Amino acid sequence: MSIDVIVPFASECEHRQRAFEWVSKRYAERHPDWRLIVGEAPTSPWCKARAVHDALQHSDTDVIIVADADVWVDELEPYVEIVTARARPWCTPHRRVIRFNEVGTAHIIDDGVHPVDIALMRGQLEQTPYTALLGGGLVILPRALYDACPLDPRFEGWGSEDWAWGFALCTIGGRRAQGDALIWHLWHPPQERMNRVIGSTESDALRERYQKAAGDVEATNALIEEGRQWLLTHSSSHPSSS
């Protein structure tokens, strides 16, 4: 089955660009039959939902992978098969995030060392490995489910959009398949944010609304519809969202 990898990316940062180039090469080498489609959105304020929306205008596959531009997961095929076979409605193959620092990332990109080997070395990680966010990093799902439950474009800048999307996917899509893979996160300077958890008070408040609506299909659908209407209202000022 044909797979489109939807990558939201728009940045002038050289470190982010280097990370994306490495990730792109890995997809080309490991999954040559998959198509990688980059979605663009205004860089300020950044909006992941609008970038994904842009990429999906060029996608026609039944199953998509929405993946950040700076992450990689080995052995994706078994998890893609879970979704294509409809064994589960959607899937996150990874459970733990391995976030490399600048030194560790340079070893991976410049020296060609495999991430798993770098992770075993001292002083190569930005922080202790941690549990991935519910809708963050890399998500495999049917296009129909994304259309019914898209990322909310009201999240701008860094933070909370993946968390909210995860709550919505569980409510609208149902129980996901949770893999045990590791997800490798390459280093780049962080976006401006309030702290390591909260990007802005506005985004955190919207995330809280999604969290409170979790498990309630009607309430979650109402939030999704709010986001759709917001996108329509703002599309004239953001051409990539049309």
Instruction: Name the pLDDT band for 233 (thresholds 50, 70, 90).
Output: confident
Per-residue pLDDT of 90-129, as tens digits, reads: 999 999 999 999 999 999 999 999 999 999 899 999 999 9
**Most distant CA atoms of the chain, gap in Å:** 51
User: Tokens representing 46?
Assistant: 């950044």
Residue for token digits 């080995």? 74
Task: List, for residues 54-87, the tens digit of each pLDDT value.
Answer: 999 999 999 999 999 999 999 999 999 999 999 9
User: In the predicted model, is pLDDT for residue 239 greater than 90?
Assistant: no
Task: Determine the distance from the C-alpha atom of residue 202 to the mean position of all C-alpha atoms in its chain, rounded to a whole number.
Answer: 20
Q: What is the CATH number of domain 3-241?
A: 3.90.550
How many CB atoms are located within 10 Å of the residue 19 CB?
26
Cβ within 8 Å of residue 209, ≥6 positions away: 164, 223
Which phi and psi (to 5°) does residue 178 adopt?
A: -110, 115
Q: Is the pTM of this model over 0.85?
A: yes
Q: In terms of DSSP bridges, do strands 91-99 and 130-131 run parallel, antiparallel, or are they unpaired? A: antiparallel
Rounded to a whole number of angstroms, the distance between the first and last alpha carbons of the chain is: 28
| pLDDT tens string 128-155 | 999 998 999 999 999 999 999 999 999 9
Between 191 and 129, where is the model more confident?
129
Do the beta carbons of residue 20 and residue 26 sit within 8 Å?
no
Span 34-61, pLDDT tens digits: 999 999 876 678 899 999 999 999 999 9
Q: What is the domain partition of the chain in residue ranges?
A: 3-241
